[in-house]
């Protein structure tokens, strides 16, 4: 590829010779005696029409030669052979034909030097591919003309599988040739193909991250997972759903005919600029089959803890703790509760530009890189954390980051370092901050040493944001404020989810679709560890005891933080209660 680029650059340097030489010759042959350069009606030695023709041919040659180089790499064809065949004949001979032969004859020879090798390559590569992937065919030319005409021709000559929403389905799970074949065969069932596109478009419109399809004898029950909550959808008929499932399995390179075994695979879906990975899992059940579709790919980009919903004052406390020189700081959340996002954004909120951050990361983690944090990747099947830790510590880092500590030996070493030398960031799955501390200690740390090193624990619980377009204000009663622990007169207005009128379709909110919520926000619980908490952690390491010690130290509970979020109008009291009960 680099060689091809350098050759084309060399050709660009020679464009003056290629373009201007024939123009000069034509001027000599065609210009009558008399007026010269600058006189009325004369071009002098430059014919702009011929110059433009040569220039256009040259640009076509540069484009097609570059395309051949990239296409050979994709199709595993001998790149050097085909690039050389398309490059050298034109580069070496085209200028000679257009310069030394009368222009139109020489120009035709130059076109032949360009078109013949290109045609040979196109014939070779088209013979390897399915019809819809071929180039310079009647269908391909019609598609190009359609693009140039603003899509009018496409509307007139659309294939059946191109109907419906503007969703591009991408076959995955096999090699390139197998995926092409699966996609080609899927398009042979245009009705099912369009139904799958409609399902993906509906998922995107409703912001659903999962779709559950329960196949019964006659119907398929649909459920949509939106902002962490399952919502019932309109049931579908069994016949069309069977065809749709077979097509999705084909795109994922699974076995459409197998309705009993557990199968799992992925296919892609592109909607405008959004790219989704669709994970399909199917399992036979007594009533038919259960299918789960999970969508990932284009999540909203969050940059700060405030974006996640953290209060400014709480953020100041968290940042102050993360500036400490030593200790253990734990990030935690429930399964599928945004722990990866919390961990990444949390580390991005630290002073990574001032101190040296380093740690270990499994090659199987598939987590995003964090700027200015040096992560040493390792294969857990071949290497262990304790074997890599000595080399990492010899670099004398200021901060150590371990997404997961997987054994007691590593835990002991890290706790020893965290007592006086290093700040340690780690994570665990837990429902609350106190539980996270106990879970990390249970990996294998000695309680007294662990308590000495413990600094803070931050837990996040996700709840739904109220839709700001349809939320409804209401005035809380004094009894409600008293129950919430809010002084009378402090809060005049709270908000709840808007409820559309079932008899009036126009009352359904166009933003949230009548759900009343749009997106999610974090409820944060921070436990700052003091000496009283450390004593309880050593003597009575139980949830209730540690909750009381955390409360005594002045830490707000998850419930109190949730109430503050509801008072600010971000969510509702009912949603806070639902989220905390999970």
DSSP 380-402: TTT--HHHHHHHHHTT--SEEEE
The CA distances from residue 388 to 379, 394, 421, in Å, are 11, 11, 19
| 253 shares its domain with 351 | no
Kindly indicate the confidence band of residue 3, based on its pLDDT and cuts at 50, 70 and 90. Answer: very low
Mutual angle of helices 79-100 and 48-75, in 10-degree steps: 170
Q: Say whether pLDDT at 509 is over 70.
A: yes
Which of 254, 277, 296 marks a domain boundary? Answer: 296
pLDDT at position 147: 63
pLDDT of 282 strictly over 70: yes
Residue 320 placed within a domain:
yes
Number of Cβ atoms within 10 Å of the Cβ of 339 = 20
Cβ-Cβ contacts under 8 Å for 11 (sequence gap 6 or more):
58, 61, 62, 87, 91
Tens of pLDDT, residues 532-570: 999 999 999 999 999 999 999 999 999 999 999 999 999
pLDDT band at residue 150 using 50, 70 and 90 as cut-offs: low
- Residue 477 located in a structural domain: no
Q: What is the CATH number of the domain that holds 288?
A: 3.30.450.90
Q: What is the pLDDT of residue 157?
A: 57
Q: Has residue 10 been placed in a domain? A: no
pLDDT at 26 over 50: no
What is the structure's pLDDT at 107?
A: 83
Same domain, residue pair 92 and 236 = no
Task: Quote the pLDDT of residue 33.
Answer: 44
The per-residue pLDDT for 434 is 96
* Residues 162-174: tens digit of each pLDDT: 899 999 999 999 9
**Would residue 364 count as lying in a domain?**
yes
CB 27 within 8 A of CB 44: yes
Number of domains in the chain: 3
Least confident of 93-97, 223-227, 234-238: 93-97
Looking at the structure, tell me whether residues 535 and 386 fall in a common domain. Answer: yes
Let me know whether 343 and 456 are in one domain.
Answer: yes
Confidence check: pLDDT of 40 > 50: no
Cα-Cα-Cα-Cα torsion 319, 323, 327, 331, nearest 10 degrees, comes to: 30
Residue 513, domain member (yes or no): no
Q: Which two tokens stand for residue 351?
A: 């002073």
On whether both 112 and 205 belong to a single domain, the answer is no
Beta strand pairing call for 399-402 and 288-296 = unpaired
Of the candidates 397, 336, 338, 406, the one whose C-alpha atom is nearest the C-alpha of residue 372 is 397
| pLDDT band of 46, cuts 50, 70, 90 | low
User: Which range marks the domain in which residue 132 is found?
Assistant: 48-146
Question: 539 in a domain, yes or no?
Answer: yes
| Same-domain status, 87 and 170 | no
Report the alpha-carbon angle 270-170-279, nearest 5: 85
| Percent of residues, the chain, with pLDDT higher than 70 | 88
Statement to judge: residues 286 and 318 lie in one domain:
no
Pair 413, 324 in one domain: yes
- Among 151-165, 365-379, 476-490, 529-543, the range of highest mean pLDDT: 529-543
Q: Are both 452 and 356 inside the same structural domain?
A: yes
Cα atoms found within 13 Å of the Cα of residue 247, Cβ hemisphere only: 26
Q: What is the DSSP string of 81-134?
A: HHHHHHHHHHHHHHHHHHHHS-HHHHHHHHHHHHHHHHHHHHHHHHTTS-GGG-
Q: Who contacts 474 (Cβ-Cβ below 8 Å, separation ≥6)?
A: 493, 494, 495, 496
For the ranges 108-112, 279-283, 385-389, which has the lowest average pLDDT? 108-112
Q: Final residue of a domain: which of 146, 180, 213?
A: 146
Strand-pairing partners, residue 377, are 361
pLDDT surpassing 80 at residue 489 = no
Average pLDDT over residues 260-278: 93
In a domain, 480, yes or no: no
* Predicted confidence (pLDDT) at residue 14 exceeds the cutoff of 60: no
Q: What is the pTM of this model?
A: 0.71
Residues 188-210: what's their mean pLDDT? 94
């Amino acid at each position: 590829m680099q060689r091809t680029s350098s050759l084309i650059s060399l050709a660009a340097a020679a464009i003056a010779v290629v373009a201007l030489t024939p123009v000069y010759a034509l001027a000599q042959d065609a210009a009558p005696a008399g007026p010269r350069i600058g006189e009325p009606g004369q071009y002098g030695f430059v014919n702009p029409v011929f110059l433009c023709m040569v220039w256009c041919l040259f640009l076509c040659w540069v484009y097609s030669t570059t395309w051949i180089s990239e296409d050979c790499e994709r199709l595993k064809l001998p790149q050097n052979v085909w690039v050389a065949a398309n490059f050298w004949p034109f580069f070496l001979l085209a200028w000679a034909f257009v310069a030394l032969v009368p222009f139109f004859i020489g120009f035709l020879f130059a076109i032949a030097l360009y078109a013949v090798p290109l045609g040979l390559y196109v014939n070779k590569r088209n013979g390897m591919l399915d019809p819809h992937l071929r180039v310079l065919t009647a269908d391909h030319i019609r598609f190009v003309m359609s693009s140039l005409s603003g899509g009018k021709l496409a509307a007139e000559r659309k294939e059946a599988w191109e109907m419906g929403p503007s969703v591009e389905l991408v076959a995955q799970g096999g090699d390139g040739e197998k995926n092409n074949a699966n996609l080609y065969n899927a398009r042979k069932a245009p009705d099912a193909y369009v139904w799958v596109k409609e399902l993906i478009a509906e998922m995107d419109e409703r912001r659903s991250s999962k779709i559950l399809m329960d196949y019964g004898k006659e119907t398929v029950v649909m459920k949509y997972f939106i902002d962490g909550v399952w919502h019932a959808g309109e049931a579908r008929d069994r016949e069309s759903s069977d065809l749709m499932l077979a097509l999705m399995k084909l795109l994922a390179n699974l076995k459409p005919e197998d309705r009993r075994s557990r199968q799992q695979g992925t296919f892609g879906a592109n909607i405008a600029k959004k790219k989704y990975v669709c994970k399909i899992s199917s399992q036979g059940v007594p009533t038919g089959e259960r299918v789960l579709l999970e969508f990932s790919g284009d999540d909203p980009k969050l940059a700060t803890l405030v974006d996640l919903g953290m209060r400014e004052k709480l953020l100041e406390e968290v940042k102050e703790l993360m500036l400490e020189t030593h200790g253990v700081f734990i990030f935690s959340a429930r399964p599928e509760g945004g722990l990866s996002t919390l961990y990444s954004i949390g580390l991005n909120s630290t002073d990574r530009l001032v101190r040296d951050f380093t740690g270990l990361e499994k090659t199987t983690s598939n987590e995003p890189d964090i700027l200015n944090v040096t992560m040493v990747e390792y294969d857990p099947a071949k290497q262990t954390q304790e074997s890599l830790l000595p080399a990492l510590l010899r670099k004398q880092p200021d901060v150590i980051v371990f997404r997961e500590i997987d054994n007691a030996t590593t835990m002991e070493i890290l706790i020893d370092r965290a007592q006086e030398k290093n700040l340690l960031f780690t994570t665990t799955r837990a429902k609350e901050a106190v539980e996270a501390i106990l879970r990390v200690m249970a990996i294998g740390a000695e309680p007294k040493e662990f308590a000495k090193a413990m600094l803070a624990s931050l837990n996040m619980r996700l709840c739904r944001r109220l839709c700001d377009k349809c939320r409804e204000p209401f005035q809380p009663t004094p009894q409600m404020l008293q129950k919430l622990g809010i002084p009378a007169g402090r809060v005049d207005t709270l908000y709840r989810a808007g409820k559309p009128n079932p008899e009036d379709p126009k009352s359904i909110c166009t933003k949230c679709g009548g759900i009343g919520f749009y997106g999610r926000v974090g409820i944060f619980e921070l436990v700052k560890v003091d000496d009283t908490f450390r004593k309880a952690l050593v003597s009575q390491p139980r949830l209730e005891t540690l909750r009381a010690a955390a409360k005594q130290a002045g830490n707000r509970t998850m419930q109190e933080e949730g109430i503050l979020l509801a008072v600010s109008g971000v969510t509702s009291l009912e949603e806070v209660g639902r989220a905390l009960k999970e």
